[in-house]
Amino acid sequence: MGISNYISYLQRSEEELAKAFKDVSKEHMREPDVYEMCRLFASWSLDHVQNLAAMLSRYGKEKENEPGQMVYSLLGRTTGSLGLLGDLRLLWVMTNEVKLGWIILQQCSKALQDEKLKLACVQFGSQTIRQTEWLTMKIKHSAPQILTVPL
């Protein structure tokens, strides 16, 4: 079934996202709120990974691997506050990709009349939405200082 392929893709995306959050938290340890929040978000994404694994076992074995997130490799290229802004933007892209993934899966769950899957998508998808909201807020708050006030 195509859906198992998709669940597997979403699982890998969440795994990569968790790793990205952890890396960004370490890279920007001097920004305490970034550090703490990225670690929290990494734990959410890892939790999603576990739950997606459980869903996979219900929908059958995964097929061949799709290519991973290209965006992840762009992280950490620049240092300092510009680097922070860049990393936050990339995280934003990755998180929105995952958000879309949950939307797609939720739609499928309706077509399949799978209430359990739908509820899972609502629960985990809402956490992904909260991740994106925080990233948007942090970017909005930091960008003016980073981009208009030179060091």
CB neighbours (10 Å) of residue 144? 9
Instruction: Answer yes or no whether residue 31 interacts with another protein by CB under 8 A.
Output: yes
Nearer to another protein, 4 or 136 (CB): 136
Minimum CB distance to another protein, residue 142 (Å): 9
Per-residue contact string for residues 33-52; x = within reach of another protein by CB under 8 A: x--xx--x------------
CB of 55 to another protein, least distance (A): 24
Residue from 5, 11, 13, 81 that binds another protein (CB under 8 A)? Answer: 81
59 vs 15, 56, 63, 77, 104, CA distance in Å? 19, 5, 11, 38, 16
Q: Cβ distance 59 to 130 under 8 Å?
A: no
Return the biggest CA–CA distance within the chain. 56
Supply the minimum distance, in Å, between the C-beta of residue 37 and another protein. 7
Token look-up 């990755």 returns 94
Check if the beta carbon of residue 83 is closer than 8 Å to that of residue 24: no
Distance in Å, CB of 100 to another protein, minimum:
19
Residues 122-141 as x/- pattern, contact with another protein by CB under 8 A: --------x--xx--x--xx
Alpha-carbon span 82 to 149, nearest angstrom:
12
Interface ranges with another protein (CB under 8 A): 30-33, 36-37, 40, 80-81, 130, 133-134, 137, 140-141, 144-146, 148-151
